[in-house]
Amino acid sequence: MAVSAFHAIADPTRRQILDLLAVGPQRAGDLAASFRRISRPAVSKHLRVLRGSRLILQERRGRELWYRLDPMPLSQVETWLSKYRDFWQNKLEDLKKAAEK
Amino acid sequence: MLASHLTEKLEIHFEIEINAPLSKVWAMLASLEGMKEWFGRNLVFEHKIGGRFQMEGELPGEGPYKFTGQVTNLVPESELAFTWKSEVGEKEPWPASTLVTFRLYPTAAGTRVTLDHTGFQALGEALAKSGFEGHVQGWTMSQTLQELKQVVEAAS
């Protein structure tokens, strides 16, 4: 399944998972327990999407499964968007100049 | 914290304070004559909901570009929104549209304008759905849709 980083971080639960992992790696069980209103299978599905986009990595440590954040795909998104960020910043300044004339 | 940071990565948001009344800023923003003074010379803008938007030009060193869209919201002196899709300029036309929204707010000094450019995740979703296949290549810095495709490929 192809999942882009854009799609992966569009979902609020997935952003919350990334938030938790931004603090440090977490055990799979602890991560699922952090979401009281969401079923374990649903959390697992979100983890699969995040793994598919390579935003998180899965590691087996002994008998335990751990997840950790990999911010690399996010910096790729940011690089691509920066062209449009620059474009709009310039246009807004041009609008200001034109309106204040 | 990080969640808002992630949202920022997916969306563009800017605000600017303008020392001119709402009515003047709105005229600049939401009319073809006004837009030609700041947005671009080669424009199509139909001042009505459903109206056509098009912007063409050429960037030195980067070549021609063309964006097309449709006006989706038009509230006088308050809000202008239109869809935004790259047709020429990126290596391939975008597979979906994004959304550009301007909002105007009166202030003591004049007008605050906010700009939101959102919906970029739709490009990733459309590419993922199109089943684009290819070799995973390294990220280059040329900032084109090709790179976005590679993000999708790397994730497949």
Q: Do B25 and A99 touch (CB under 8 A)?
A: yes
User: Is the ipTM beyond the 0.85 threshold?
Assistant: no
Residue B17: CATH number of its domain: 3.30.530.20
Weakest-pLDDT range from B94-103, B111-120, B136-145: B136-145
User: Residue B10: which of A9, A18, A89 has the nearest Cβ?
Assistant: A9
Q: CA B145, CA B134: separation in Å to the nearest integer?
A: 14
User: Residue A99: which of B6, B24, B122 has the nearest Cβ?
Assistant: B24
Q: CA B126, CA B62: separation in Å to the nearest integer?
A: 25
Q: Give the residue-averaged pLDDT of B1-10.
A: 56
Contact of A20 with chain B, judged by CB distance below 8 Å, is answered with no
pLDDT of the residue at B36: 93
Q: Give the residue-averaged pLDDT of B95-110.
A: 94
Q: Do A9 and B121 touch (CB under 8 A)?
A: yes
pLDDT of the residue at B15: 93
Is the confidence at residue B9, as pLDDT, over 70?
Answer: no
Strand order in the sheet with B111-118: B12-18, B111-118, B98-106, B79-88, B63-75, B52-59, B42-45
Structure tokens at A32: 């699922």
pLDDT of the residue at A7: 74
pLDDT of the residue at B129: 56
Neighbours of A23 (CB within 10 A): 10
pLDDT of the residue at B28: 94
Q: CA A91, CA B38: separation in Å to the nearest integer?
A: 7
Could you list the residue range(s) of the whole structural domain that residue B9 is in? 2-155
How many independent structural domains does chain B possess?
1
Is the confidence at residue A20, as pLDDT, over 80?
Answer: yes
Is the confidence at residue B4, as pLDDT, over 80?
Answer: no
pLDDT in tens, A30-89: 999 999 899 999 999 999 989 988 889 999 999 999 999 887 777 767 777 888 888 999
Residue bearing the bigger pLDDT, B142 or A20: A20
Sorted by sequence, the CB contacts under 8 Å of residue B81 that are 6+ apart come out as: B71, B72, B73, B74, B99, B100, B101, B102
Is the confidence at residue B7, as pLDDT, over 70?
Answer: no
pLDDT of the residue at B134: 29
Residue bearing the bigger pLDDT, B145 or B25: B25
Nearest-CA distance B49 → chain A (Å): 22
Cβ-Cβ pairs closer than 8 A, A with B, add up to 137
Q: What average pLDDT does chain B have?
A: 79
Distances (CA, A) of B51 to B64, B68, B73: 24, 11, 10
Q: In residues, how long is chain A?
A: 101
Contact of A93 with chain B, judged by CB distance below 8 Å, is answered with yes
Residues B100, B119: contact at Cβ < 8 Å? no
Neighbours of A7 (CB within 10 A): 25
Nearest-CA distance A36 → chain B (Å): 19
